[in-house]
Each structure stands twice: as C-alpha cells, then as structure tokens.
A and B are shown apart, each in its own frame.
Chain A
Amino acid sequence: MADTMHAGDGQTRRDFIYLAGAAMGGVGAAAALWPFIHSLNPAADTLALATIEVDLAPIQPGQAIKAMWRGKPVFIRNRTQEEIDTARAVPTAELIDPQPDQARVKEGKDNWLVLVGVCTHLGCIPLGTSSGESKGDFGGWFCPCHGSHYDTSGRIRKGPAPLNLPVPEYAFLTDTRVKIG
C-alpha cells in the first residue's frame, strides 16, 4: 500500500481515517454488544417479584418462619425477651463482625428479627428456624455445611463464615405486616 499524501511527516490522512474508522467500529461493536449482555440481567418480570409482603400475626414469641424472597429464604423470628437480652448482653468487641443488636432490628419492634437466611460462608441455609432444628451454640442458627454458629441476633459467633446474616431492606406496613425488599 503506497501512501500518496503527506508521506513526509509520518502522519497521513490514511492513518487518521484508519484510526477514526477503527474507533467508530469499536464504539459500534460495543454498543451492539451491550443489549446482549444486558439481556442476561434480571428481566422485568423477575424484578417485579422482588418485593414480598408477610403477615406476622401467626408467629408466636419464640417461633420463626421462612419466607421466599428473590429465590432465597428470609428468616423472620419473633424473639422472646430472654433472646433479646442475650443478644444485647454480648460486648460488641467480642464479635467477629461487630454490630449491636439494636442496629439489626427496627426501633420499637425489637422482638422481630428479619434476616436473609443464607450462610455468609458459602451459601447454605442455616438450621434453627423450624422447631427441633439445631440452633447452634448461641441459640440462633447453625449452618450444617461447615459449622458456622449464629446467635439470636443472627450474628456470626463461631465457624468459618465471615459476616453476620444480612438484614434485608424491609418496612412495617402495619404492626403485623412487613414488606421485604
């Protein structure tokens, strides 16, 4: 390919056209790629199911239930006063993932503990929600996969999990009804 224009300065009109053309093509390819990538993200109907409402009325003190939210279990526990006191008696500094119990519940609804029930180690579902299941050494939850123990605030106390069970975004619609998500 012989260049006929401006060959002297080493920068030719052809170089410019070549680079501009390649850049334009690159932008076009990236723009064409994005819809395909984005199609793998959650679809509108999946997002529409991202919020659930749960009726708390049937849950007696000391009981817990599992609700399905975004394909994962949510633990909702109606804690007894003793369980609340146990959780709050622990010095925060002793915890693996320090967080006071008060920060994990809604003010004035201290008995209601709402957690995403997925072990923060490798994603198993900890035991302890249904009656008869092992609640672990700290009266909360126990993950059978690799032996993580959670307390009555859902905080990690012993075992390989690095973090407390996360509290999802939720709000009380009435005294006996919560909206999760």
Chain B
Amino acid sequence: MAHAPQSNFENPVVNWIDQRLPIFTMMNKEYGSFPTPRNFNYFWNFGALAMFVLVTMIVSGIFLAMHYTNNTAMAFDSVERIMRDVNWGWMIRYIHANGASMFFIVVYIHIFRGIYYGSYKAPRELIWIFGVIILLLMMGTAFMGYVLPWGQMSFWGATVITNLFSAIPVVGESIVTLLWGGFSVDNPTLNRFFALHYLLPFVLLAVVVLHVAALHIAGSNNPLGIEPKGPQDTLPFHPYYTTKDIFGLTIFLIFFASFVFFAPNMLGHPDNYIPADPLVTPAHIVPEWYFLPFYAILRSITFSIGLPFTDVVLIDAKLGGVLAMFGSIAILFVLPWLDNSPVRSARFRPIFRWWVLLCLVPSFFMLGYAGGKPAEQPYVLIGQLGTVMYFAFFLLLPIIGRIEKPLPLPASIANPVLGGNAATAK
C-alpha cells in the first residue's frame, strides 16, 4: 500500500476495517457527504428505484429458481406448484412477474428524465451509454424470463423473437438453429434461456456499478441542466436525498404492491396459463407490454426497400422490420452526438422541449398502442406513423440544435436569473 488512510470512526471495529479497506470512508464520501445538486425534482428518484427493483428481482428470482424445474415436461407444472404449494410462492412469483413490469416503468421514466433534462450530454455520455447497455440487458433478461413458465405465450414469444434472427441474410437460419440448439424451440432452448436468465442480471448489476461509478465522477445532472458552482448549489446526499429516495420508494412500493396483491395478472397475458403447445399458435400473440413499442416498429416495416423502378430488392420487409427495431435502441447510443445543443435542460430549449413532449412521448405511446393490437388497419398505420415520429425525433435533433435559440440560463442553481427561484425557473 502506498499510504495508510486516516479513519476517524467512533466504532473501533468500523475504524479497524476502514484502515485496512476504506469502504466506510468510501460509502460516506459517495452516499453521505456526496455533494448533490439541491434542486432535484422527483424525476431524480427513479435511478434509486431502478436499483431497488433490480435487487428485488434478483432476490425473488433466486428464491423462485430454488423451486423451478428447468425441463419442458415439468416447467409449467413446477410454476403451478410454486403458485399453489410452495409457502408464499404465489407472492414471490407475483413480485417477480410484476417486478419486471415495474422495472420497465421505472427505467422508461428514468430514460425520459435523461432525455428531457439532457443528462446524456458531456461529460455524462458514458453514463448514458452504460444505461443503454443496461436497457438491452434488461430486455434480453425479461424476454428469456418470460419463456421459463413454458406457457403458450412463452413458447410462441420465444419462437417469434428467435426467428427475428432468421432475417439476417445468408447466415440467418444457421444462427436461429444455433440459438435453439435444435430445429425448433425445445428443451435445449429452455435450458440455455434459464442459464442466461440467471446470469444476465448479474452482468446487468456489474454494468449498473459502472453506470453509478461514472455518475459519481461527473456528478448528477439536475432540472436546470447547469453544473453546481459551489457548496451553495449542493446538499449532502445524506440525509437530504436518502430521505427523498425513501419517500419516493414508499410511494412506489404502494404502487408495486397494489399490482402484486390486487391485480397480479393485469399486466400479463392469460394465454400464458395454457401449457406450451408446439402445434397451436394463440390467435393473438403479443409480447409483454414493455416490448410493445418495439414490436410495433418491427411490424411497421410492411414494405421492401429496393432500387427505384427496378425489381431489385435490397432489404425485404422482414429484414427491414428487424433492422428498424434494433435501430430504435441503437440510435440511443448516438443520442449524445445527435443532440448538438450545448444547453442540457429542456426548460431552456423552447423547440426541443415540445419536440420531446409532442413527438417522442406520443410516438412511444402510439407504438405501444399499435403493438398491442392485431396487425390490421388502422393499427398498422398508427404504428407506422409512430415509427416515423420516433426516428424523426432523433434524426432531426442536429437541425433543432442549430435553429433553436435557447432561453438564458440562470447564473447558478442557487441564484437563477429568472424569478429568483431555481425551482420554478422555466
């Protein structure tokens, strides 16, 4: 060791440990005295909430795994056994199933917060990129978890999603066979999905550690989008934001518990209580609600893209849909560079603000609505309109950044130029 850290804790055991491994010093620095902008609104609760849901999902998932049987012949019955016979099994499973929905609700709001207040801009681009990776890991984990009960939606969801990869030219079919470990979704597929469903949350947790570590280098953004200029602009994380996070968590837990105890299957699909049948596809197959916007993008590409005035097809509709769907996530990676405005918060960006609220947000809800409906008119058209709006939001950002005239920024968080009150500055 290059140096022995100074520890001044009252508790001698804490002190002894801290001198050898300064975890208490670190916790105090990062979560005790950590200077945090004083003007957070409740949108800033959602990172902590997401962390809470992740831990809840890992804990409830491990307990479920102790009762679950990972075999096509027994998986469905083992889940029913959890529901009927295992002590509190119904509650643990409903926590886990609804927890997935809660995770996406919290993370979607967290992402919206990041976009609206420009949290992805320098010097926080890497935090944002880790966040998009977390979103991708979440989606993969949620998809594979949904397959495990081996109901009809599990089976056909797995079939449809894995078949997405068949759209890849030349090697697509081979990749799908590789994913399946056979010639259809079957026991090998279920086995590997279970293994990965157990693994990925821990990978996700590791990326969350990077996400938070990078956040603690740059410090949090805030609703004004300007950097704190001194101690008058910040508050120690504890007790101000620990208290605020606990309050937000309490409200969130009421919301969460109301689903677990009063409407546990509201966000699910009844067809998944029918055991998987490889010979019958359910008449109306839809993914879980949190995938609907992306599913709608997939279905919106109903046309092939070819050279004009010839019969040459460059991208058929199937591949086009898959590319658009993955592109809708991939475009998030480059958002920090698409948005070239130096002003972060939408409060001071008159065009961007309405561009988010009237283009991005409606497109997400339109896509979610269309994704849950059958692939027929007018839903296809709504989905296509949503797809255009979604991509337009991102692709027109460079132009908006150029033509927009931002409002004057307050001089500091504590002393905004407008109205004398940072919290109400618009």
Contact = CB atoms under 8 A, between A and B. Distances in A.
Contact of A39 (B84, B88, B239): B88
Contacts of B254: none
Contact of B85 (A1, A36, A43): A43
Interface in A24-61: 35-36, 38-41, 43-46
B89 A36 contact: no
B211 to A, nearest CB: 26
Contact of B88 (A1, A38, A45, A46): A38
A contacts with B: majority SS = helix
B81 A39 contact: no
Interface string B36-66: 0000000000000000000000011001001
Contacts of B86: 39, 43-44
A43 B85 CA distance: 5
B84 A44 contact: yes
Q: Is the interface of B mostly helix, strand, loop or mixed?
A: helix
Interface residues of A, number: 11
Contacts of B87: 35, 38-39, 41, 43-44
Contacts of B88: 35-36, 38-39
B55 to A, nearest CB: 12
A36 B63 contact: yes
B66 A40 contact: yes
Nearest to B239: A1
B92 interface: yes
Interface string B6-43: 00000000000000000000000000000000000000
B91 interface: yes
Nearest to B253: A28
B405 interface: no
Residue of A35, A44, A45 ringed by the most chain B CB atoms within 10 A: A35
Contacts of A44: 84-87
B229 interface: no
Interface in B296-345: none
B81 A43 contact: yes
Contacts of B269: none
B332 to A, nearest CB: 34
A41 B85 CA distance: 11
A41 B86 CA distance: 8
A44 B89 CA distance: 11
B89 A39 contact: yes
Contacts of B63: 36, 39-40
Contacts of B85: 43-46
B89 A43 contact: yes
Contact of B92 (A1, A36, A41, A43): A36
Contacts of B67: 39, 43
Interface of B: 59-60, 63, 66-67, 81, 84-89, 91-92, 239
19 contacts: A35-B92, A36-B63, A36-B88, A38-B87, A38-B88, A39-B63, A39-B86, A39-B89, A39-B92, A40-B63, A40-B66, A43-B89, A44-B84, A44-B85, A44-B86, A44-B87, A45-B81, A45-B85, A46-B85
Given A39-B92, A40-B66, A43-B89, 18 more contacts: A35-B87, A35-B92, A36-B63, A36-B88, A36-B92, A38-B88, A39-B63, A39-B66, A39-B67, A39-B86, A41-B87, A43-B67, A43-B81, A43-B87, A44-B84, A44-B87, A45-B81, A45-B84
